[in-house]
Amino acid sequence: MEAFGAVVAGSGRPPTVADALRVLAAVPVAADGPGMVDQLRQFEDVKALVAARQAEVTVAFDLQQRREQAAAGVPAGEQGTGVAAQVALARRESPARGGRLLGLAKALTGMPRTYAAFRSGQLNEWRTTLIVKETACLSVEDRAAVDEELAADTGTFDGAGDRAIISAVKAAAYRKDPRSVAKRASHAVNERTVSLRPAPDTMARLTALLPVAQGVAVYAALTKEADRLRAVGDGRGKGQIMADTLVERATGVKGGVSRIEVQLVMTDRTLLQGDSEPARLTGYGTVPAAWARKVTIDGLARSKEELTVWVRRLYTAPATGDLVAMDSRARLFPHGLRRFIQVRDNVCRTPYCDAPIRHDDHIIPWRKDGPTSAGNGQGLCEACNHTKETPGWSAKPVPVPGTRHTVLLRTPTGHAYASTAPALPGTSLAGTKGWAGTEARKTPPPSTVTPPVDLPGVRRRAGPGPGRDAASRNSPVRNSIQVLGRAGPAGQYRWFQP
């Protein structure tokens, strides 16, 4: 690239990524349609080249970190710990995705022809990943032989879709080592699991990874029930009946409302005054205000099961919308403080990780005199908590005026990443700055407490005190929807009632 060479000409230094970015940013959009299509292809080639170079840097970084850890006396079996997490942070990806990217990069070192196709743009990062994934069960030697057989750098997969590539790689892998492929299939049964992911419009995707025989049997049973009900005049669609039947058989309750606790976080205005401010459903995300009210009040009337709805009040600082803290002298976070942290953080606080919270973590460890408090607490997934405890990693709370609860995470290379607690419903994001920002957050003060209003089926949870004895505090709640409202007079700082 002549222009690229001109950028660094006479500087006496090798080109940098920043030089390349300046050149790419200066490329004008083509003047005609054919030229624009050519640019689209060329930029796609650039993306592939950049991803290939990222893989190259990732392998070099892994080796460098392992050498440093070996020199520091880290046991051989623990060397490499934390590398994937650092890769993820640098690439603005989740830790799980960082692990996959590290595995891809290391595998490509033994697949030179696939890597050449990747670097030249004949394969993008996703299709390169498919090839590596389908050869993961092979030995290094057999994987290299499959790589040579496929010869992806000669245009083998030009015009091929994802399924065609997977099929070709599977066939080559089976020819090379059928026993390993069969063994992989037999071990796959151990990976059976059920997962839940948010979907648009207050829907969710419940996914089950099952052995094929069981999966087919479940689907057949649901189909049979749907056909039976439709034959006797059920007006629902086939898919609707299958979904409803799945929920009812899994929960054991018609309509699916079972012995669970559902946490909705909303402003008092949304719950009591018909305000349009969206609510937040723990484990799902943002939901419309009308839907939240319907679930809380109207939806209960349709269930034959007796439900109890509790309303807890949360108080926030007027300037930032941050939940007010509570301290404890205990080593472990007490129940009320755990609930506080989980409502505030919603998901794992590691940047780019949105996994569910599994551990209540002391940001400054207890062994280093870190207090058990909301300010020194954060919710983390299991993997991120283990990574944070490895040598070279550190974290500390950063009190920054005008921002919500902020944690500064520092990696073994000295890079720092900030994590700010997500905004609660009713908190404006306007004027928000990161942890290094100097502009104060411009948020309206929390609303005043709305006078008590009689709501059908809703009980107000009393705070600890004379009106609530130990028996009432510890009595089991059969079915409950806990509405965590946000309210409080301007300037009033109070811990919500646990």
Structure confidence at residue 414 (pLDDT): 93
Structure confidence at residue 198 (pLDDT): 80
pLDDT tens sequence across 392-408: 999 999 987 778 899 99
Percentage of the chain lying above the pLDDT 70 cut: 73
User: Over the chain, what is the mean pLDDT?
Assistant: 79
pTM: 0.71
Structure confidence at residue 276 (pLDDT): 79
Domain extents in the chain? 1-25, 26-183, 193-251, 261-315+447-486, 327-420
Amino acid at 65: Q
Q: pLDDT band for position 450 (50/70/90)? A: very low
Structure confidence at residue 196 (pLDDT): 83
pLDDT tens sequence across 171-199: 999 999 888 877 877 788 888 999 888 88
**pLDDT at residue 300 is higher than 70:** no
pLDDT tens sequence across 356-371: 899 999 999 988 888 8
Q: pLDDT band for position 84 (50/70/90)? A: very high
Structure confidence at residue 195 (pLDDT): 87
